[in-house]
Homo-oligomer: A and B are copies of this chain.
Amino acid sequence: MIHINEVAKQTHITVRTLRYYDQIGLLECSSKTEGGHRLYSDEDLQKLQQIQFYKSMGYRLQEIQEMLTDPNWNWTTGLVNQLTYIQEEQARLKEMELSLRTLLNGIAVEAGNQEQAVQKLIKLSMQDKKRPMHFREKMFSDTELKLWTKLPNMNGEHPESMEWIALIGLIIKYHASEVPSSPNVQNVIRRMLEKQAEEFPLEDEFIDKLWELRKSPSASEQLGMYPIEPEVLEYLERAYEIYISNTAEGDFRQGGEA
């Protein structure tokens, strides 16, 4: 029989918490002094450990109470339910993480103008909900639509998307200060082409089609692409052409058999 403060020290649970558990009937101490001070037995401590254990799995106190009292508690079902719940929460957090990364990259893309990035992304996410997808289906064949799902996007379903965005961000950054032929810009182009070869091997025709659509602001918007200013796109195209002409009968179109 030990006092509440001793329990707190041993278990690293606060006195307040112990009193609260007593109050809601989750862990009533097995006896009290005549003056009303709580006294905890070894069994109480063991029960407390169990409570901690279940708490570490994200259960709420009410549920823990049921588990501990109901002899017919279905453990497997209960655990699987909790597991499902935890996984849903994880999915929610993942979406939040993606939104945050998207905005961060958006701000980078807009050269620090958050208002711009926020507005564009809000507009995009609203369109996402409304878009009837007909435009996409009209523009592409079935095989192309399958490729479409693998494209990087600002909603960032895949980490790869973020790499693409970072590359675009670099282009926009250099756009303000460097000529398209500068080594920095050419380096980005090279990395873009490498990524393209990795992720879309042997799909040059599809990529060319995409590029044409990308250059049309209205088509881009209808397709739900993140809006990029036309002058940036032109800058990118020039840099690309310079890269191609420099590598000429090049040694880079080989990657993609994996």
The residues of A with any CB-CB pair to B shorter than 8 Å are 49-50, 53, 56-58, 75-76, 79-80, 82-83, 86-87, 89-90, 93-97, 99-101, 103-104, 107, 114, 118, 121-122, 125-126
Residues of B within 8 A of A99 (CB): 56-57
The answer on a CB contact under 8 Å between B96 and A93 is: no
Q: Which of B50, B83, B121 contacts A97 (CB 8 A)?
A: B83
The answer on a CB contact under 8 Å between B79 and A103 is: yes
Copies of this chain present in the complex amount to 2
Q: Once the chains are docked, how many angstroms separate the CA of A107 from the CA of B126?
A: 46
A47 CB to nearest B CB, Å: 11
Using CB atoms, name the residue of chain B closest to A53: B122
Q: Once the chains are docked, how many angstroms separate the CA of A121 from the CA of B121?
A: 47
A7 CB to nearest B CB, Å: 15
The answer on a CB contact under 8 Å between A53 and B100 is: no
Using CB atoms, name the residue of chain B closest to A87: B97
A42 CB to nearest B CB, Å: 14
Is chain A's binding surface mostly helix, strand, loop or mixed?
helix
The answer on a CB contact under 8 Å between A58 and B104 is: no
Q: Which 3 A-B pairs have the closest CB atoms?
A: A58-B96, A75-B114, A57-B99
Residues of B within 8 A of A75 (CB): 107, 114
Most chain B Cβ neighbours within 10 Å, of A53, A96, A97: A96
- 25 CB contacts below 8 A, A to B, read A49-B122, A49-B126, A50-B122, A53-B118, A53-B121, A53-B122, A56-B96, A57-B100, A58-B96, A58-B100, A75-B107, A75-B114, A79-B100, A83-B97, A83-B100, A83-B101, A83-B104, A86-B93, A86-B97, A87-B97, A90-B90, A90-B93, A90-B94, A90-B97, A93-B93
A20 CB to nearest B CB, Å: 21
Q: Once the chains are docked, how many angstroms separate the CA of A79 from the CA of B104?
A: 7
Q: Once the chains are docked, how many angstroms separate the CA of A99 from the CA of B94?
A: 20
A60 CB to nearest B CB, Å: 12
Most chain B Cβ neighbours within 10 Å, of A100, A101, A103: A100
